[in-house]
Amino acid sequence: MNLLSPWGLAWLATVPALVWLWRLAATSHQLKVSSLIPFEHLLRRPPVRRSRLLVNRLFWLQLAALLLAALALAQPVRWAARSRTTLVIVDTSASMGAGPGLAGAFERARRLLRARLARKSRQEAWFLVSTAPIATLTPHPTADAAELRRALDAVSPSDLPGNLATAVHVGQALLKTPADRILVVTDEPMPPRLADGFEVLSVGQPLANAAVVGLDAQGSLCGQDTVRLLATAQNFSATAQQARLSATQDGRALSQTPLSLAAHAREQVPVALPADAQGWVEVALAAPQDALAVDNRLHAFLRPSASLPVAVLSDEPAFQQAIGRWLSACEGLSWAAELPPAPDQPYLLVTDREEVPARRPVGIVRFQRRAAASPSALAWMVETGHPIAAYLPPLETVAASLGSLGDAAGFGEPVIWGVQEGRRVPLLLAGEQDGQRVVTMAVDPAGSADAVPLVVTFFNSLRWLMGSAEMGRVGEPLAVASLPPGQVSVQRPDGQVERLAHEGGIFRYAATTRAGRYRIAQGGVTVTRAANFLDPVESNLLERASTWRPDLAAASAASAAARVPQPLMDLLLYLVLALLLCEWWLYNRRARSTVTQFRVQGSPAPVGPGGLRAVAQNPQPPAQNEALLR
Amino acid sequence: MRSTAWLTADLIRQLETLQLSVRWVRAGRAIGGRFPINRRGSSVEFADYSPYAPGDDIRAIDWNLYARLDRLFVKTYKEEIELAVELLVDATASMGLPTPEKFERALQLAICLGYVGLANRHHVRLGWIAPGRLAASRRFRQRGDLWSLVDATASVRPAGELALADWMQRAAAALRFRGGQAILITDGMVRPADFFRAAHVLMRRHLELRVIQVLSEQELHPGRTFRGGLLVDTETGTTHQLGYSPEELARAVAQHNEQLIRFCKRHGILFARCVVEEPLQTCLMQTLPARGFLQ
């Protein structure tokens, strides 16, 4: 045992104070006696000073409490082997729901964990963490098998993709001490090499599946045609299969499109729609070999027209001219140097101003220009994963007049980088804030030549900004612009209704764990948003990709046999409290017993608490003067 | 108002079976009882001869004696009187400590002994040994006076201090003690010399004195609870820092009581001790009969 704070023992100096208090109480205590006459001959000589402290059980209890309190303040610790803690990662990603009912992967995982739970030692604590979403299933590590069983029964696979490595990291971070063992139950393939302390139970098996992995509800940006709906279907099986793509609106079948999907093939299929179709359309894929249901249904919102009007606002005529020249190349696009006349018409804003008009645009392309900047050749590096980077080569040299991102540098995700004087600087940032998409470009269109990559980037930006805000993916937050303060109810696809307090402004709903339509209502206003699954990695049950990372080993293996300090302060303080309670109880009991013991027969009057305590403890005293009395 | 719940029918029935033991009666006032005294009276029990004096009843002249001695003598007869029982209860402040039970017990004993006296047709009177004006009840004569006896104790509270002998002298004169039996119920917390003088006062008045000492266990064994501190005499207010061993304290109390007991033995005074913590019945049915108070 060690003392973390030995100076705490200085509190032992209070022991003499306790003794002194008892002495003081003994000497200053006034005891009324019936008479001092019997002791008169004793009183004639001075009393001998007592050298022995007269105490009772109360004193010993107080002394013990004082000593324990001093010891507690010294913070003693005992070095002991840690109780075993197992971090259990339960894969709850959408792919775990594959398979029929009790034969599904998740039910197998649940059965396996229950069996492990039955064999678990009583001291071993489990900490359950789910992967999708990453959340703890028990508030803290517990060895209570019943609580763990209840937690396992309550959990079910979500419609989200999962990441085992992230879940392990989060689980370890939430544990106060590193876990002795990490048990992972997943449908992902077993990692090739596992460090000590890890155990992975793989419950997955290769399954054929067909899924809709993409949906494009936009038409041509520059064309006058109406909106089109393009669905991307993929066959995750080793054999070709005939599938059927159907579109329905409010329960009414719009179309059915037969599909022939080759093995492992991905195919983009136009969904046949009536010319005047608009609003929410549900697209469903039916295939004979299909193990996962969640990736077969999608929801798309169709606008009456493909593109939004564009307002170009600038104080610089050259800027307006350059943008106008670009926009005029797209015949189907309507634009003006002022806001659209209809007050409720959605529009896009292209500007070089910092301020935004009171009428909130759907999206903004903001050019951060720099005065008198001349064009220079720049090496463009493009992040190809972003929609704005479509049709752009990863690396290209572009002659453009550079601007400065300034304060906007931290907002959004860099899509295009420029290399200038050996340094990499962001040229285009794309981000979303409060339900509004914003593209910030550090380029001056007026001072730049009409380079093809620059124009493509601009139109890609417009196309991205015109993307439907009504449709998102599971796990992404849904945003509704400008709801007044009050209570907002959200009806989820699983039927649950959540009521949330809203303080005004943009309303965000983050718990999109289920694919489907979410109805957000406040007062008489109802807004519908959809979260689609659209995850080819999760849909691929034939060749499951692993989200495991080999560097997860170190954290748990190092702590396996460590001896940890166990602080005894809490225990000692509880003991102090118990002793003080005992002392209090004893004190009261003595007072009560004095009253009851001395209520002699026939006496109605209550007896005061003073005196006679000793007699109460010994009701049969030895006789006095008995010989004379006889 | 004190509760009389302790005075049960069972206890009264038990008291009916008892009577006060009487060793001698030398004087008294209430004629017509069953205790003869050596005083010219009208009973049939011959007492003595006395020379004739003018005015004597000539029917009492013993003519036979005149024939032999040629002198006139009249016969005298013993007078038969009722027994007067004076119950003297110590009501000084010391009787209120260490618990009020002590004084309650003293009152209960006085009432019970008084009832025993009433049941035997004695004249019973209660007197309170307390500072200030002399306080005593009237004389009770009948069994039915039991509740009057109880009522007489209703308002008495232990308080104050006094010199026992002085009070006894005042009471003897004012209450006209003469003959009979005096039962002194006290805790004995009085200086022995004072106690002796008070006893002499009563004996001079031809009272057969009996003493009942009512004490609590704490007073008998003070060392058990007097562990330290300042002792305060409840009567005088005198204080003293306690610094003696329990043995010394116990010995002091024993010596004090021994003086009282020895004095009583020497003068033929019955002495009994009732401990507060014992049941009342133990004192009435065992202690007092064993000490010769009751039979």
Q: Do B230 and A625 touch (CB under 8 A)?
A: no
Query: How many A/B residue pairs have CB atoms within 8 Å?
Result: 185
The stretch B193-208 carries a mean pLDDT of: 88
Q: What is the pLDDT of residue A79?
A: 79
Contacts of A604 in chain B (CB under 8 A): 2-3, 5
Q: What is the pLDDT of residue A603?
A: 39
In degrees rounded to 5, what are phi and psi of residue B286?
Answer: -120, -55
Share of chain B above pLDDT 90, in %: 12
Closest-CA residue to A112 (of A57, A185, A63)? A185
Q: Find all residues with CB under 8 Å of B107, minimum gap 6, and list them.
A: B2, B89, B153, B156
Same domain (yes/no): A215, A254: yes
Q: What is the pLDDT of residue A90?
A: 93
Same domain (yes/no): A375, A399: yes
Q: What is the pLDDT of residue A615?
A: 34
Of B99, B222, B226, the CB nearest to A607: B99
Q: What is the pLDDT of residue A618?
A: 38
Q: Is residue A627 part of a domain?
A: no
Distances (CA, A) of B202 to A328, A348, B198: 142, 127, 7
The stretch B50-60 carries a mean pLDDT of: 83
Residue A175 scores a pLDDT above 50:
yes
Q: Do A38 and B256 touch (CB under 8 A)?
A: yes
Of B224, B233, B280, the CB nearest to A615: B224
Nearest-angstrom CA–CA distance, A106 and A162:
13
Same domain (yes/no): A296, A327: no
Residue A595 scores a pLDDT above 60:
no
Residue B132 scores a pLDDT above 70:
yes
Coil/strand/helix, residue B111: helix
CATH of the domain at A418: 3.40.50.880
Q: Is residue A481 part of a domain?
A: no
CATH of the domain at A189: 3.40.50.410
Taking a C-beta distance cutoff of 8 angstroms, is the pair B52, B102 a contact?
Answer: no
Reported as type and span, the H/E element at residue A125 is strand A125-131
Q: What is the pLDDT of residue A492?
A: 93
- Write out the DSSP string of B246-280: HHHHHHHHHHHHHHHHHHHHHTT-EEEEEETTS-H
| Residue A612 vs residue A108, higher pLDDT | A108
Same domain (yes/no): A143, A155: yes
Q: Is residue A32 part of a domain?
A: yes
Range of the domain at A358: 311-465
Same domain (yes/no): A368, A415: yes
Residues A419-437 have pLDDT tens digits of 877 788 888 988 877 667 8
Same domain (yes/no): A289, A353: no
Q: Is residue A483 part of a domain?
A: no
Q: What is the pLDDT of residue A198?
A: 86
Residues A58-85 have pLDDT tens digits of 889 999 999 999 999 988 888 776 678 8
The stretch A496-511 carries a mean pLDDT of: 86
Same domain (yes/no): A574, A613: yes
B217 touches chain A (CB under 8 A): yes
Closest-CA residue to A367 (of A328, A406, A325, A410)? A406
Split at pLDDT 50, 70, 90, the class of A612 is: very low
Residue ranges per structural domain of chain B: 9-28+81-290, 44-77
Q: Is residue A326 part of a domain?
A: yes
**A351 beta partners:** A313, A366
Q: What is the pLDDT of residue A620?
A: 42
Share of chain A above pLDDT 90, in %: 19
Q: Is residue A335 part of a domain?
A: yes
Contacts of B250 in chain A (CB under 8 A): 624
Q: What is the pLDDT of residue B75?
A: 83
Q: What is the pLDDT of residue A82?
A: 67
Residues A110-136 have pLDDT tens digits of 999 999 999 988 878 899 999 988 999
Buried b (16+ CB within 10 A) or exposed e, B26-54: ebbebeebebbbebebebeeebeeeebee
Taking a C-beta distance cutoff of 8 angstroms, is the pair A255, A229 a contact?
Answer: no
Nearest-angstrom CA–CA distance, B21 and B116:
10
Q: Find all residues with CB under 8 Å of A119, minimum gap 6, and list them.
A: none
Of B7, B187, B277, the CB nearest to A600: B277
Residues A10-21 have pLDDT tens digits of 888 888 888 888
Q: What angle do CA A91, A93, A97 make, to 5 degrees?
A: 100
Same domain (yes/no): A321, A443: yes
Same domain (yes/no): A56, A30: yes
Structural domains in chain A (count): 4
Q: Is residue A474 part of a domain?
A: no
Residues A222-237 have pLDDT tens digits of 665 555 678 889 999 9
Q: Do A54 and B227 touch (CB under 8 A)?
A: yes
Residue A350 scores a pLDDT above 90:
yes
Residue A607 scores a pLDDT above 80:
no
Contacts of B243 in chain A (CB under 8 A): 47-50
DSSP at B58: G
| Residue A390 vs residue A553, higher pLDDT | A390
Residues A295-333 have pLDDT tens digits of 999 998 877 665 678 999 998 888 888 898 888 888 778
In degrees rounded to 5, what are phi and psi of residue B137?
Answer: -85, 175
- Rounded mean pLDDT of chain A? 81
Nearest-angstrom CA–CA distance, A365 and A348:
8
Contacts of A625 in chain B (CB under 8 A): 254, 257-258, 261, 273
Mutation site for B-interface testing, chosen from A625, A626, A630 by largest number of B Cβ within 10 Å = A625
ipTM: 0.73
Closest approach of chain A CAs to the CA of B197, in angstroms? 17
CA A11 centroid distance within chain: 45
The stretch A406-420 carries a mean pLDDT of: 76
Q: Is residue A522 part of a domain?
A: no
Contacts of A628 in chain B (CB under 8 A): 258, 261-262, 265
Q: What is the CATH number of domain B9-28+81-290?
A: 3.40.50.410
Residue A602 scores a pLDDT above 50:
no
Same domain (yes/no): A102, A140: yes
Nearest-angstrom CA–CA distance, B288 and B295:
9
Strands (DSSP E) found in B131-196? 135-136, 181-186
The stretch B4-9 carries a mean pLDDT of: 84
| Residue B285 vs residue B81, higher pLDDT | B285
Same domain (yes/no): A248, A376: no
Residue A201 scores a pLDDT above 60:
yes
Same domain (yes/no): A36, A166: no
CATH of the domain at A222: 2.60.40.10
Q: Domain end: A465, A497, A525, which one?
A: A465
Q: What is the pLDDT of residue A305?
A: 61
Residues A270-299 have pLDDT tens digits of 888 877 777 888 999 999 888 888 899 999
Q: Do B243 and A32 touch (CB under 8 A)?
A: no
| Strand-pair category, A348-351 with A310-313 | parallel
Q: What is the pLDDT of residue B55?
A: 80
